[in-house]
Structure 1
Amino acid sequence: MLDGLKRALVLAPHTDDGEFGCGGTMARLVEGGCEVRYVAFSIATRSLPPGFAPDTLAREVRAATAELGIPESNLTVHDFDVRTFPERRQDILELLVALWEEWRPDVVFQPSHHDVHQDHQTIAQEGLRAFKRTTILGYEIPWNNFDFSYGAYLALERRHVERKVAAVRCYASQQHRRYADEDYIWNLARVHGTNVNREFAEVFQVYRLVA
């Protein structure tokens, strides 16, 4: 289903969500000639560990997306305060509608509706409203998903997972989190691949498929 895609948009509530949810898929898309745009809505300054500068995640997301082959011109980083997205719902929707009108992506990757983080839920809900005329796939953030519909498996080669791991490694400020562990990333990709008789894969919830 990735063949022929020209424009893919990745919505990351916070820097690094896109890499965790669909980093391998982004690497595969870029390799196939698709233009990928990455929009992060918060640099989560209040969630940084002690000792890191306030702009740390803004710098780290630039390095991470570059590892995936995304040019800096295709990266947009907003600075909505972490855990306040429900209060900024209309502002976020207007940004997303403007993205649709400007760029008309062929596919949008966003958090799942079943993600329990309030910022992720807001992006998921407003993403459906803004991009209802195109394909929308919800990516998996396992530690936030109590329920998830495994509707689409996108197969990956080893090199795509390597790029995902390299991208996550760019987030020095987040390496204390257990889910940033390289073995976890490899094992999750391997489990999803095994489920569909592939070596590696990422999995998505299908909200709309326009072909």
Structure 2
Amino acid sequence: MPRNVREVALFGAHCDDIAMGVGGTLLTLSAACPNLRVRAFVLSGGDTPREIEENHALRALCPGADVMVRVLDIPDGRAPGYWEGIKIALQSFRYHTEPDVVFAPQRADAHQDHRLLAEMVPTVFRDHLVLGYEILKWEADTPATAVYHPLTRDVAAEKARVLLKHYPSQTDHDWFDEESFLGLSRLRGVQCRYPHAEAFVLEKAVVRFGGQGA
């Protein structure tokens, strides 16, 4: 990840995807990077209580940051049928952000909305570091991850607290609880020798050795 992160772009198919996948990383970045700009794009939930939940949660995860959130009204579970409209909206969003890092779902996600967004984002953000986050859910699609962002115990606990506080519409799901959130982050922490972590699938990275440009 770049040492000096000034702006991040976040993509989620549903309100709460971003917070589950990258919430601890956002807490860490916001604390480490003064004046961080956060630009978020979500496919579904527009003009519903879920949009309000998303705005409150992302602001809680990015204290002190300049946060802008755009939430579309694509029907949940129907994103492939709205391919053209989503692509146009993504291209429009691209003109309003120049991120150092892009966080999006990962291509092997079993949910069609997540997967479509994962495939589209790199076609719009072609020259950026794109990290595919994992989304906790009932499908057995836990990815093989290559990139880890360590979290302290306090950050992992704060992420779980924000999720439970700001997404009351999701608490009826049997997997949406503190044990699940901390269990996954603890597992990823074990894999990188830290108390907790968030893990990512690497979409593409450009590596320069010796300080030489192209």
Pairwise same-fold verdict (TM > 0.5):
yes
Matched, 1:146 2:141: yes
Q: Is the 8 A contact 2:12 2:104 kept in 1?
A: yes
TM-score, reference length from structure 2: 0.86
Q: Which residue type is aligned with residue 92 of structure 1?
A: I
Q: Is the 8 A contact 1:192 1:200 kept in 2?
A: yes
Q: Is the 8 A contact 2:20 2:163 kept in 1?
A: yes
The residue correspondences of 1:1-211 to structure 2 (distance < 5 A) are: 1-33=1-33, 34-43=36-45, 55-69=48-62, 73-143=67-137, 144=139, 146=141, 148-169=143-164, 170-210=166-206
Tell me, in whole angstroms, the C-alpha distance in 1 between the residues paired with 2:204 and 2:185: 23
Pair 1:26–1:81, CA change in 2 (3 A): same
Pair 1:4–1:72, CA change in 2 (3 A): closer
Task: Indicate the structure with greater helix content.
Answer: 1
Q: How big is the shift at 1:79?
A: 1.1
Tell me, in whole angstroms, the C-alpha distance in 1 between the residues paired with 2:74 and 2:129: 26
Tell me, in whole angstroms, the C-alpha distance in 2 between the residues paired with 1:21 and 1:172: 18
Partner secondary structure for residue 113 of structure 1? coil
Equivalent residues, number? 202
Q: Is the 8 A contact 1:136 1:207 kept in 2?
A: yes
Spell out, residue by residue over 1:16-39, the C-alpha distance to the aligned partner (whole angstroms, 9 max, x if none).
011111111111111122322222
Q: How big is the shift at 1:163?
A: 2.8
Structure 2 gaps, min length 5? 208-214
Tell me, in whole angstroms, the C-alpha distance in 1 between the residues paired with 2:81 and 2:92: 19
Q: How big is the shift at 1:147?
A: 5.6
TM-score, reference length from structure 1: 0.87
Structure 1 gaps, min length 5? 45-53
Give the stretch that moved more between structures: 197-206 or 76-85: 76-85
